[in-house]
Structures are given as structure tokens and as C-alpha cells.
Amino acid sequence: MNNEAGNTTAQGNPLKHVAIIMDGNGRWARARGEARLYGHMQGVESVRRAIRGAMAHRVEYLTLYAFSTENWRRPQTEIDGLMELLADSTVREVPELKAQGVRLQFIGDLSALSATVRESIAAAERETRENNRLTLIIALNYSSRWEITCMTRELARKAVHGTISPDEITAGTVENHLVTAPYPDPDLLIRTSGEYRLSNFLLWQAAYSEFYFTEVLWPDFDEAEFDRAVAAYRLRDRRFGGVKNLYREKAGECPPE
């Protein structure tokens, strides 16, 4: 009834939040005899295409993994180039994002970034905060282990101060203390470049995300690939530990057991 072979509703699973691990910029550039940074520069156009794809599918949240807490292990020239690109692109894209109704938000340890990068982020968030067509969340100097460590510290602090009782801590309490607290969990998580791992991205939040892995390198990612990921997602049987697709059951489309 609802397997990947076919029969499903016209729309399939509802899709609110797509998260993407944008990977493969370096390999894309090296394959062309260019420096890795050239791949990152080309990747900016793919970000624009992903935003267009998200809007075409009426996605409400799009989270993009731009820089992990482990990416500081890269050569300093690449890090400097990436940071400059991030700051410049953020500033350059704001007018278009504003015009498109995109609200830009950043998650991650921003305190470790340069003043220039932090200022461009703060300005972009401020200028787009009234928009509500799409929330674009950039994970910058982000990792799940960093996030979960911060959350743990905060809860321990509250317990010590007596503002929270350890016995009252629930999954909801944890969620509310993560940097992603304002957003729903991703429904669909895409990773490009043929790598099959999470690389410290949204470990808690992706507990029930549907994964889509593609060989396409990030600079080649386009709306057609976004469409393919969404089409695959729509047909997935999301059970959340239950026995059948809850959404279709609600719509009265599952036959009685």
C-alpha cells in the first residue's frame, strides 16, 4: 500500500523540515585541478538552488550544515577562505532572501567566530527576522556533541541552583535546551557526495528523520536532485515505532489489519 514501489497518496508524507549535509566541495574542485576553496565558492550556487527547491515544495524549514566544530582541523588557508566566503555570501544574499520571504537563522558556537563573521550573521538575522515563508537555518561551527554538552551543562546548572528537579527532566526538557529548540525535527535529511554518515549533525533531532544519500557532489546539487530526494521521502513508510504509516492511517487510507 505504501511502499516505495508505488501506491500512495498524491502528496505522500507531509514535509516541513529538510536538513542537508552539503558535502563534496573539495573533491569537486580537485577533480577539476582547482583548489578546494573553488568548490566551496561553487557550492554557494547550490545553496541558492536548495532554497528554491525548498520553496517549490513549500518546506517551512531548511537547515544547512556549513561548518562543523571538527572542520577547524582543516588547513588554515581553507578555513580563512571559507569564513570569508560565509561572511561575504551572508551579506550579499540578504536583500534577495528578504525579497523571497526567507528568515535566516544560525546555530552553532558563534562565539568562536571572528567579529566580522559574527556581525554579518547578527545583521542578517535582524534584517530577515520578520519573514515567514521559509526559515533557513545555517549550522555554523555546529556539532551535536557540542550542542548536547552545552545542554547538559545548562541542565546541571539549573539542578544545582534548584530551578529544575532531576526527576522532572523529560525528553521535552532536553529538546527545549538544544539550540534547535525553536524548530521541528527534520523530516528529511539529505547528504551529498556518497558519504554515509552524520558527521556529528543533529544526532538527537534525526532520531526519526528519513535519510536520503546521493552520490552527487554539493556543487552539482540542483532542484532536480532536491525533487528526487523529496519524491523518495514522500513514499517512505514512517512508522515512528508503530506498525503503519500514521499519516495515511489518519487519512483513512490504510486497510484495517
Q: Provide the 10 A C-beta neighbour count for residue 187.
A: 21
Using the rule CB under 6 A, which residue among 13, 42, 46, 68 binds ligand IPE? 68
- End-to-end C-alpha distance for the chain, whole angstroms: 12
Count residues contacting ligand IPE (CB under 6 A)? 19
Using the rule CB under 6 A, which residue among 19, 22, 134, 230 binds ligand IPE? 22
Of 12 and 22, CB closest to ligand IPE: 22
Sheet holding 61-68, edge to edge: 102-107, 134-142, 61-68, 17-21, 188-191, 210-213
- For the segment 2-61, give every residue that binds Mg ion (CB under 5 A): 23
Are 144 and 166 contacting, i.e. CB atoms less than 8 angstroms apart? no
Residue 257 Cα distances to 3, 248, 253, 254, angstroms: 16, 14, 12, 8
- For the segment 166-205, give every residue that binds ligand IPE (CB under 6 A): 193, 195, 197, 199
Interface stretch with ligand IPE, choices 24-32, 97-105, 111-119, 120-128 (CB under 6 A): 24-32
Q: Which three cell numbers stand for residue 139?
A: 549550522
Q: Which three cell numbers stand for residue 40?
A: 566551496
DSSP state of 134: E
Q: How many whole angstroms separate alpha carbon 61 and alpha carbon 147? A: 19
User: What track of x and - describes contact with Mg ion for positions 202 through 221 (by CB under 5 A)?
Assistant: --------------------
Q: Has 25 been annotated as catalytic?
A: no
Of 196 and 240, CB closest to ligand IPE: 196
Q: Has 71 been annotated as catalytic?
A: yes
Count residues contacting Mg ion (CB under 5 A)? 1
Residue of 23, 141, 187, 245 marked catalytic:
23
Catalytic center residues:
23, 71
* Residue ranges binding ligand IPE (CB under 6 A): 21-27, 36, 65-68, 71, 82, 193, 195, 197, 199, 218
